A and B are shown apart, each in its own frame.
Chain A
Amino acid sequence: MLSKTAAELSQALSRKELSSVELTQAFLDRIATLNPTLNAYITVAAEQALAQAAQADDMLAAGTGGPLTGIPMAHKDIFCTRGVLTTCGSRMLHNFVSPYDATVVERLQSAGVVMLGKTNMDEFAMGSSNETSYYGAVRNPWDTQRVPGGSSGGSAAAVAADLCVMATGTDTGGSIRQPASFCGITGLKPTYGRVSRFGMIAFASSLDQAGPLSKSAEDAALMMNAMAGTDLRDSTSLDHPVEDFTALLQNSLSGLRIGLPKQHFTADLNPAVQQILQDAIKVLEGLGASVSEVDLPHNHLSVPAYYVVAPAEASANLSRFDGVRFGYRCENPLNLEDLYKRSRGEGFGDEVKRRIMVGTYALSAGYYDAYYKKAQKIRRLIKQDFDDAFRDVDVILGPTSPHTAFKLGEKNSDPVTMYLEDIYTIAVNLAGIPGMSLPAGMLNGLPIGMQLVGPAFSEARLLNVAHQFQLNTNWHTMRPEV
């Protein structure tokens, strides 16, 4: 029962085969058993979850429920939740209980979901392995010696290990897609601005995007129906009509034009990963799609440009954590400067401090043009590459990650090696377009993800392609034995 999708459980709930309270209790029991091993949750909100489940049961009994009513889910600990701890994976916010809900949380709650708790994450969403959390690393349910990917690793591990039905994540450089790939689930990064950032603790404001992590493309579409839409409280939210993201799921793929970036399918890509992708492409061709090569000539500059833009924005956003306004404060400050420096020095972890310093340097007098302005120019070149490619193809397909989940500690010693983990995902964030990862095969008992990328506002089309693929393959139904 706990491995079923939201769409399947929704039917069971509406047919009264089980109640949301029973379902919620079953998930809480599984979390109690497995979370000590996996560390996927930072906070479990059992009492609140059972109260929400009872309310959902009332709505279902009255016939006023929707497709997500009574479905137990989790929120990444970057989303503010009224009355429940929101740490962002940092010592800095170790005691922060928000007085309000993020818009995403509020909208999903209006859809009747049950929040089981808050999932672990890389500190302030900075990381590709979920090893930078103040609350310890999350373990991959497929192999607990391996990372789940980051920064939404807690959400991805929780969905994969059936510790919730679905979860929210955020993606600044690949943080939904890469953990989805490593954990064998479906993750969608929507178009920048389609899902509100209000109440989502900011990392890099021009890149951060909230999205769903789920067991199927169909569930991701149901989540997007609840999450997406203009929010006047978020000045970067786009005024774009909200469509029914499930509307195209059943469409045929006949005539679909798929582009394969020549920069992704090179000799550098693991041949076994390449073979898995070729097999997936054959499935899509069998459903009527055609394939051609596309050129993304500036793709190799996406990691350097990102590691200027994201740290620069982070250095500004994280200046609010000063030891005074909320969160961690050092003991016995000597003076104001000592209060700032020690609170920030002790409250932030190494990776966060590194990025704040890179950002401070890139924005400092004398270096702004050479770094920040240059990166913003390269950002335009990367966006133009995608615009050119989408004149000839409807979606771009490639690997999500260069390989399967790696071992804990394997890449910690060199930040640059870790940064290159997101080589296939970062360009999508710089261009602001949607991308998703879905399970496409297994290698040595570990999942491999396939990335689909589309032009701005093409989420429904991406979900359509993913759903049709999932109707004809069973990679997304595979579950780890934990």
Chain B
Amino acid sequence: MALDNSDVEKIAHLARLEINQSDIDEVTGRISNILAMIDQMQDVDTNAVSPMAHPFDATQRLRPDLVTESNQRDELQKIAPATQDGLFLVPKVIE
């Protein structure tokens, strides 16, 4: 399926990705080519086939609802760009 630039802008917004306006034609062309390749799938009748969610039809493993992790706040905060009083500092972005 061929897309136009406005479709790509909408997808980029849904994906929260900034695309430079100067690149938009190229991005649209390349994504359209990928979708054209993917569209080969539509030639196959799959009405009688059930979707495969897992190659071995495995189901999610369950475990007792118990706390197993220890508190590693200090360790985890070491890798943060900025912390204060045991809290992560993030840029002020809420209007």
Contact = CB atoms under 8 A, between A and B. Distances in A.
Interface of A: 96-99, 192-193, 206, 232, 235-236, 238-239, 298, 300-301, 303-305, 307-308, 315, 319, 322, 324, 326, 329, 333, 335-342, 344-346, 348, 353-354, 356-358, 360-362, 364, 370-371, 373-381, 383, 414-416, 419, 430-433, 456
A414 B61 contact: no
A297 to B, nearest CB: 10
B51 A354 contact: no
Contact of A364 (B14, B18, B40, B58): B14
Given A304-B37, A416-B34, A329 B81 contact: yes
A100 to B, nearest CB: 8
B52 interface: yes
Interface of B: 8, 11-20, 27, 30-31, 33-35, 37-42, 44, 46, 49-56, 58, 60-61, 63, 72, 75-76, 78-81, 90-91, 93-95
Nearest to A206: B54
B91 A322 contact: no
A357 B17 contact: yes
Contacts of A326: 79-80
B17 A335 contact: no
Contact of B60 (A235, A329, A340, A378): A235
A348 to B, nearest CB: 7
Given A301-B44, A353-B17, A193 B34 contact: no
B38 A307 contact: yes
Contacts of A235: 60-61
Given A340-B16, A345-B18, A360-B15, A376 B52 contact: yes
A473 B81 CA distance: 53
A96 B79 contact: yes
A294 to B, nearest CB: 19
A336 B55 contact: no
Given A307-B37, A378-B46, A336 B93 contact: yes
Contacts of A324: 90-91
Given A97-B79, A358-B35, A380-B49, A342 B18 contact: yes
A374 B41 contact: yes
Q: Is the interface of A mostly helix, strand, loop or mixed?
A: helix
Contacts, number: 153
A380 B41 contact: no
Contacts of B31: 354, 357-358, 361
Q: Is the interface of B mostly helix, strand, loop or mixed?
A: loop
B91 A238 contact: no
A381 B44 contact: yes
Contact of A301 (B12, B33, B40, B93): B40
13 contacts: A238-B58, A326-B80, A329-B91, A333-B91, A338-B93, A345-B18, A353-B27, A357-B17, A376-B52, A377-B52, A381-B44, A432-B54, A456-B55
Contact of A308 (B38, B55, B78): B38
Contacts of A414: 30, 33
A308 B72 CA distance: 37
Given A339-B93, A354-B27, A373 B33 contact: no
A370 B42 contact: yes
Residue picked from A298, A301, A336, A357, most chain B C-beta under 10 Å: A357
Contacts of B53: 206, 376
Contact of A344 (B17, B30, B80): B17
Contacts of A432: 54-56
Given A383-B52, A416-B33, A432-B55, A335 B93 contact: yes
A159 B50 CA distance: 42
Given A414-B33, A419-B37, A335 B95 contact: yes
8 shortest interchain CB distances as A-B pairs? A432-B55, A345-B18, A376-B51, A380-B52, A377-B46, A341-B18, A340-B16, A360-B15
Nearest to A372: B51
B18 A304 contact: no
A357 B11 contact: yes
Contacts of B39: 304
A23 B86 CA distance: 43
Residue picked from B35, B52, B56, most chain A C-beta under 10 Å: B52
Contacts of A430: 55
Nearest to B72: A99
A15 B95 CA distance: 68
Contacts of B49: 377-378, 380-381
Contacts of A364: 11, 14
Given A232-B63, A357-B8, A433-B55, 7 more contacts: A301-B44, A315-B15, A322-B16, A357-B31, A376-B52, A380-B49, A432-B54
A277 B66 CA distance: 54
B16 A337 contact: yes
Contacts of B93: 333, 335-336, 338-339
A319 B15 CA distance: 8
